[in-house]
Structure 1
């Protein structure tokens, strides 16, 4: 369990630093704030920060002590927040994928199809759906400490066996409306984006080669380089799509499948596996800023500019401080020289 503790601490620290960096980029750049996808990115970043501040420390204490880290009331609050944050984060990812699909497939109609008002309505729906499931869980008293996951989460105590049917229905509906729905949207949107991007690349490459043929006889080596560039562009697009979908499946599917399988009365989930799936889910919160923001040129430019400004101020402060120290030393030595 030591590795689980380390994993949770690393995920919490990285998630806080990277997601706060994303928020910092938005405060420093009017251009980023003007983009519609920024609404979804901010919603996702806030969710990840809350997960890192509230749920990850609670799970860390649960793993460390092998017991409930808080009292019943606080444990219910932590469980409520986990359900809300997880659902909201998944729906934000689905919204980002749909935004990208509209931007690529309908570029001329994007500004009319996806406005800031539309983005805010989508975020409001995400909050409403997430809050509905969280409130249902709270009212049914299904938020408790689970030894299997070492955390305060959706859990049915042995005393609540009479509610087994309702609990199973709730769990299946929750994961279908969050994980399954988002996975379906991600696959549909990004595969459509990939198809259109490949079509555009092929069209551009054909035009480029035809233009070169009109201007000059193409040497075999030049033709090979053109074909290699075409292949590289297609591979880069496929790689990005696989990262978007692959990271979602890798981090969420083990946890979701485990939660569904454990509904069967004959299935017992080992504690180490439950904690491992929880750690994978937390890792998604720390990887999201890289997947959706920080590796993109616009965000990198803002971060580099900000770091340069901070470094410039530090250098200026150090130079002023060293200059003032030099003058102080000179003034102290002046009387000694005169005497």
Structure 2
């Protein structure tokens, strides 16, 4: 194993560890908090987290084994099943991110009618479509025997057959157009509309703030400076969040998808190191999503704090009620 392969191996291993811990924590928060469970975004987040967790458990270890042994991990049947899961779960995860962007758009653009437009039933219908969409492409690829071990990516995934490359090329273009490209367009349209509304509200707040500062002539300069700094932070906060949603999606998925499209042209050489690295980048989205969509939000941070407090109180109470010297003496009859 050379230096580049060792770097990719270590990266995949780190992604597995972070993804397991972070996605498991999101599911624990979902199971613990009734407030998260009763909201439509909580259901969408749980579906995205479940897809990422299953992808981490079922597919990433096989890629890790392939990188270590430089050979196909397991038999053909196992690799075909893993390729089916990889196609199903990655497609579902992309569509879930698009659904979350639509949810944010409805919440920001239609705040008064949001709860009537996006209920748990509506979220369940959206998730039903994402699973049907993902299952359709995965079943088509499996039925046409286009799933198996791909040496370029060191993974069990879609692969071009020796015959019928033209059909596989058409399928690949349609598949990536209706998964990656569709999700990217929905993300951009929804979040740019959210950013437009957020900037409009920021301008209104800025006008009120400046009018207040003008009226308060005797205000202390430090207070005035803090108000101006808060105005700048408010302007940057929305842009930073939108950039994170769209930027992580493109950074993680775009290199892999572009490589899959370039691979359709046999005359273009692709380095195996780059193929494995692009696959690692696609896997890394499973480790980023819990922080981008869940754990950095106030509701999830509060739930994590409540869980930690409950565990600490339970441990403290068990220690205090344990059999200490005084406790044993007090428990014995006639000890006095």
User: Do structure 1's residue 129 and structure 2's residue 113 form an aligned pair?
Assistant: no
1:287 CA displacement: 0.9
CA shift, 1:225, in A, is: 3.3
SS in 2 for 1:108: coil
| SS of residue in 1 equivalent to 2:324 | helix
Q: Deviation per CA, 1:38-77: give whole Å up to 9, x if none.
A: 1110110010010000000111111111001111111110
Query: How do residues 82-231 of structure 1 correspond to structure 2 at under 5 angstroms?
Result: 82-157=86-161, 160-161=162-163, 163-217=164-218, 222-231=223-232
| Cα deviation digits, residues 118-154 of structure 1 (max 9, x gap) | 1111111100110000000001001111111111110
> Is 1:53 aligned to residue 45 of structure 2?
no
Q: Distance between the aligned counterparts of 2:146 and 2:60, measured in 1?
A: 20
**Greater alpha carbon shift after TM alignment, 9-18 vs 118-127:** 9-18
Q: Report the counterpart of residue 324 of structure 2 in structure 1.
A: 324
| SS in structure 2 at match of 1:52 | helix
Q: Which residue of 2 aligns with 1:64?
A: 68
Further displaced range: 109-118 or 134-143: 109-118
Residues 26 and 49, structure 2, Cα contact 8 Å, conserved in 1: yes
User: Aligned partners of 2:217 and 2:114: how far apart in 1?
Assistant: 39
| 1:153 match: secondary structure | strand
CA displacement 1:215-260 (0-9 Å, x = unmatched): 5455665444322221111111111111111111100000000000
Partner of residue 81 from structure 1, selected from 85, 92, 96: 85
| Counterpart residue number, 1:29 | 33
Specify every segment of 5 or more residues in structure 1 that has no aligned partner in the other structure, as ranges: none
Report the CA distance between 1:325 and its aligned residue.
4.4
Deviation at 1:320, TM superposition (A): 2.2
State the match for 1:237 in structure 2: 238
Q: 1:170: how far off?
A: 0.7
CA shift for structure 1 position 327: 4.5
Structure 1 length-normalised TM: 0.92
- Give the TM-score, by structure 2 length: 0.93
The worse-fitting range, judged by mean Cα deviation, of 203-212 and 54-63 is 203-212
Count of residues in Structure 1 that have an aligned counterpart in Structure 2: 331
CA-based RMSD:
2.0
1:329 Cα deviation after fit: 8.1
Tell me the CA shift for residue 326 of structure 1: 4.6
Shift of 1:16: 1.4
Q: CA separation in 2, counterparts of 1:91 and 1:18?
A: 20
TM-fit CA distance, 1:286: 0.7
